[in-house]
Structure 1
Amino acid sequence: MNTKTDLKTQMAIPSVGSIIRRVALPFLLFSTVFFGLLLLSYYLLLPRLTQVEVAGKQHNTAQLQSYVTDLQAEVNKLEDARSDFVTPLRDGLYGAIKKDKFSTKGFNDLQEQIIDTAEKVIEEKEEAIHFASFEYFPTKQIFHLSGDVSNVGPRSMTLLAQFVDLLKGMEEVESVDLPRFTREHSEEKGYYSPFDFTLHIQ
């Protein structure tokens, strides 16, 4: 009697293979449907949720990365252009325009400005600063002048130094090759200070 009961019990327990066969089809159907839903959400739903409007246009994630790269390149280009305008560099656009402006300045204009500068130094003596020569070399951007300071007694070196300082302050002048300041004496001029130096025009 017990033997028959044990046999019935053994026959009632399903095998692993039968369990797999029973769940295989439902699992396959579920996986297929789930995978299909994932694909639909990736191609249809996700792009709608991740799109961002920039400058009136919709962009997804990939387009945003490309847009940011292009935008950064454009910003860098504009910053370089701005630097050329506002930075006084010789190789920049500002420096090129400024150089072109003063390279077209004529000899007479520069000579007149130098004479006007000399008149600012002269006080009671109208003929204190005498010019012997003016030379202008536009391609090299240099202006050479020579002469002397006289008719002011021992103060000739002082007035010459003041004249050089005013020349340095001119907008068109970048630098001055300083002359050797000396005070000499002659029967004709009395005390005088000769000068012979070069202005570098910017």
Structure 2
Amino acid sequence: MTKWRYFGDNLPIVVAKWRTRSLIAKAWRTRREALQSPPPDEAARGAVMARIEDDLARAREILERAGATKELSVALGKLGHVALDLDDPERARTLFEESVAAAREAGDPLRLAHAVRHLGQVDHRLGRLESARRCYEEALDLYDRAGPAHPLDHANALRPMAALSEELGDVEEARLRWGRAVELYRSAGVEEGVRECETRLSRLNGG
């Protein structure tokens, strides 16, 4: 006989995870549609964003009560992206910090790499460059350990690190990062990424 673990409203954890996957997917579908076809005015946009946040907040609450830390990290990360959509990077940073903490507790290296990378990008945006560098370095180390199975995620971590190296005046490191990123974007079949990396490399090389 299957033994379920229960929480709060007597839902088994496996059902809680299923329910939150549905909520998160719904929220992200709504966000994608709003980005593709923006609402006609600020009031309509606010209503759409409120619905997205509500679904993600419900998912967060369920996952916190269930102790499902990996899935909680995902929900917190999505809330962080919504905060960025609403031009609130400080709130986004708090949410990404919580996402990182949940991922560490879950012990999932790729989820942690993803969460740390996004925290680094927010720090980068806020001008906290050394903090951003530490985040990018940790994310890249985690992707390196994961091997070649995730070239796009790895490239997406190299890209902001390369840009940061340029900002900090480390041209050689920037060249190395952009060079590795272009290989990974090519491997993943992402031509837009390939073009950006090649443009950056050409500029660094005086082209």
**Could you state the TM-score of these two structures normalised by the residue count of structure 2?**
0.20
Give the number of the structure whose residues are more often strand, by fraction: 1
- Provide the TM-score with structure 1 as the length reference: 0.21
Structure with max Cα Rg: 1
Q: Which has the higher helix share?
A: 2
Higher relative contact order (CA 8 A, sep 6+): 1
